[in-house]
Amino acid sequence: MITVSTDTKFVHLAWQREEKLLKDVKYPMGSDPTGQLARMFGVYDESTGLALRGTFIISPDGKLLNAEVNYYNLGRNIDELLRKLKANIHLTKKPNEACPAKWQDKDDKTLKPSAKLVGRVYEALK
């Protein structure tokens, strides 16, 4: 996990020391003062010079697997983010499976797309 804003690393340091909610932070706080990375991911707001609340999951081989962007005033759900990360890790190990919407963890049912499954997803998930 790397957090990224257009603040400098010096401001990250000051914020992490000042704000008590951040005292247990373990992740690196990335600095993107030119907005170059935010532009690459399409979350740079030219009118404000700030990054929108974008979340991107990248696999160990460098492939973009998830993209989610919220406007300034909506926070993100960390449980959903972890669900997606877990699902991606699972699906990398089992590439012929698919994780349905309600999949939460590795013990939950996955689907194996095939001719047999067409129109029978309800039965498969029962």
Partner 1 sequence: MSEVCECLGCNVGANVPDFKLETFEPTKGDFGEISLETLKKNKKWTILFFYPADFTFV
Which residues sit at the interface with partner 1, rule CB under 8 A?
1-7, 9-16, 18-19, 22, 25-32, 36-43, 48, 50-67, 69, 72-76, 81, 85, 88-89
Q: How far is the CB of 60 from partner 1 (least distance, A)?
A: 4
List C-alpha distances in Å: 54 to 3, 28, 50, 65, 68.
10, 17, 11, 13, 6
Q: Smaller CB distance to partner 1: residue 53 or 110?
A: 53
Residues 56 and 76: beta-carbon distance below 8 Å: no
* 54 vs 65: CA distance, rounded Å: 13
Both tokens of 74, joined, read 């909506």
Q: How far is the CB of 98 from partner 1 (least distance, A)?
A: 15
Q: Smaller CB distance to partner 1: residue 62 or 119?
A: 62
Q: Smaller CB distance to partner 1: residue 81 or 125?
A: 81
